[in-house]
Amino acid sequence: MHYADYKTILSPKNGMNLYRGCSHGCIYCDSRSLCYQINHIFEDIEVKRNAPLILEEQLRRKRNPCMISTGAMTDPYVHIEEELQFTRQCLALIERYGFGLAILTKSSRILRDLDLLKAINEKTKCVVQMTLTTYDENLCRKLEPNVSTTLERFHVLEVMRDNGIPTVVWLDPVLPFINDTEENLLGLMDYCIRAKVHGIICFGFGLTLREGNREYFYKQLDRLFPGMKQRYISAFGNSYVCNSKNNRHLMTVFTELCEKHNILWKTDDVFEYLQTFEPKNQQLSLF
């Protein structure tokens, strides 16, 4: 961990990243791509110094409240959040100033902040987004070794459901030749249906690879799945988009289940929901 100075916390589209780099160890992580210019060891997480103070200044200057979202570059509940509590401090500010929240994580650490999530949701809209990729717990521990397993994330979705907090699942990525099966999809969809998620973001069944994350991914394939690297090279070469050969069938199964259970699945619709600020009207007294 190291600190760096920043002038802003919110992006022009009100995205909030408090950290750069990650300790979750997911073998497919796109954030390792060189285009993001993380010029330090990825696991040596860069902390944005005074992030809560900077965020408060930015929130104060906004004319109208809106949705604040956490980006997909770095999970807001990386391990050092237990010590620093920057995410918790920022959630408290979002609640105090009456903004909405769309927060994305793979970690059950988010349950620590359930009180703040409920408080935000009482005023406006708080959406908890959870990434699910792999139904099999043993495989999950290989692909995403240092973060909550899929079953643990499902339990988080259940807690949010029981507390009236809407949820969205990111079904991404699904790795060709590894977990791109109907069995895997049906298991994940069963979790989503039981948790009554509001929407699911799915860009198709596959993953993206580019300079930086491709090299790390292939190194992990050599370690965990001997011979799999060569299958990828033979199937995809240096392609950015690496779609599963089962993509069409899996998309059909996915969309039919979403339609049957009234789950938003069209990407534009889900993003519109995440970005729409919805203040909750206070009931007027008759006296």
What pLDDT is recorded for position 281?
Answer: 66
Nearest to 169 by CA among 283, 79, 265, 268: 265
Query: Rounded to an integer, what distance in angstroms lies between the CA atom of residue 49 and that of residue 28?
Result: 28
With tokens 């938003």, the residue in question is 264
Q: What share of the chain is helix, strand, coil (3-state, %, to 5)?
A: 45, 15, 40
What pLDDT is recorded for position 71?
Answer: 78
- 126 part of a folded domain: yes
Tens of pLDDT along the chain (287 residues) come to 999 999 999 999 999 999 999 999 999 999 999 999 999 999 999 999 999 999 999 999 999 999 999 977 899 999 999 999 999 999 999 999 999 999 999 999 999 999 999 999 999 999 999 999 999 999 999 999 999 999 999 999 999 999 999 999 999 999 999 999 999 999 999 999 999 999 999 999 999 999 999 999 999 999 999 999 999 999 999 999 999 999 999 999 999 999 999 999 999 999 999 999 999 865 433 33
Cα 186 to chain centroid distance, Å, stands at: 20
What pLDDT is recorded for position 280?
Answer: 86
- 129 part of a folded domain: yes
Tokens coding 55: 């965020």
Tally of structural domains, the chain: 1
- 187 part of a folded domain: yes
Indicate the pTM of the whole model. Answer: 0.95
Is 191 within 8 Å of 132 (Cβ atoms)? yes
Tokens coding 109: 């650490």
Is 130 within 8 Å of 9 (Cβ atoms)? no
Query: Rounded to an integer, what distance in angstroms lies between the CA atom of residue 205 and that of residue 246?
Result: 8
Q: Quick one: DSSP state of residue 49? A: T
What pLDDT is recorded for position 259?
Answer: 98
Is 104 within 8 Å of 167 (Cβ atoms)? no
Query: Which residue range is the domain that position 134 belongs to?
Result: 2-275
Q: Quick one: DSSP state of residue 281? A: P
- 283 part of a folded domain: no
- 285 part of a folded domain: no
What pLDDT is recorded for position 287?
Answer: 32
- 287 part of a folded domain: no
CATH of the domain at 218: 3.20.20.70
- 280 part of a folded domain: no
Query: Rounded to an integer, what distance in angstroms lies between the CA atom of residue 11 and that of residue 8?
Result: 8
Nearest to 25 by CA among 112, 153, 140: 140
Q: How many CB atoms lie within 10 A of CB 20?
A: 21
- 284 part of a folded domain: no
Cα three-residue angle 88-117-124, rounded to 5 degrees: 125
